[in-house]
Amino acid sequence: MSLLPILRYPDPRLHKVAKPVSVFDARIKKLVEDMAETMYDAPGIGLAATQIDVHEQIIVIDVSEEHNQLRAYINPEILWASEEKQVYDEGCLSVPGIYDGVERPARVKVRAFDVEGQPFEVDADGLLAVCIQHEMDHLKGKVFVEYLSPLKRNRIKTKLVKEERELARSAQRAAAR
């Protein structure tokens, strides 16, 4: 297994729309394993393939306290979403250090495939419902900050671009030594 680099907002590759997976093979299994390792190391509770610059409909999620209930959702689709909404403070591995409230359906029913290509359905509520919807947004090229006001979004973008420049400068100084 290996850790994969996570794209940071506002990287334009985060806005690419993912294609469905058509072949369930060893490459997909390895990708899911690497995504899981990357997610746990970050640390996070969900990761979409889009976030690692792989534009296929694959997400990994584990909302358990013990980090022992990993589930891969391949080609996920929402079959039903409740009219009842809830607001959760969301964060994102591609938008490090930023958390803000996003309103989403409180419950969803999702159909997806596992790494073997077997279909399954999940009725989700609470944190799992939020996480599934958040990660599925990535597959559509959408980052959670796009739910925020333009002012907040621009502040976040400016902050992250500045942090990225500072990291690059530090790396250059370290390399010059």
Tokens 């607001």 sit at which residue?
Answer: 87
The reply, when asked if residue 138 is annotated as ligand binding, is: yes
Q: Cα separation of 45 and 48, whole Å?
A: 11
Contact 102, 144 (CB under 8 A): yes
Which sequence positions are flagged as catalytic? 135
* Dihedral of alpha carbons 40, 79, 98, 20, sign: positive
What phi and psi values does residue 141 have, to the nearest 5 degrees?
85, 25
3-state SS string for 18-44? CECCCCCCHHHHHHHHHHHHHHHHCCC
The residues pairing with 89 across neighbouring beta strands, listed in sequence order, are 101
The reply, when asked if residue 131 is annotated as ligand binding, is: no
The reply, when asked if residue 92 is annotated as ligand binding, is: yes
Q: Binding site: which residues?
A: 92, 134, 138
Binding residue numbers for Fe cation: 92, 134, 138
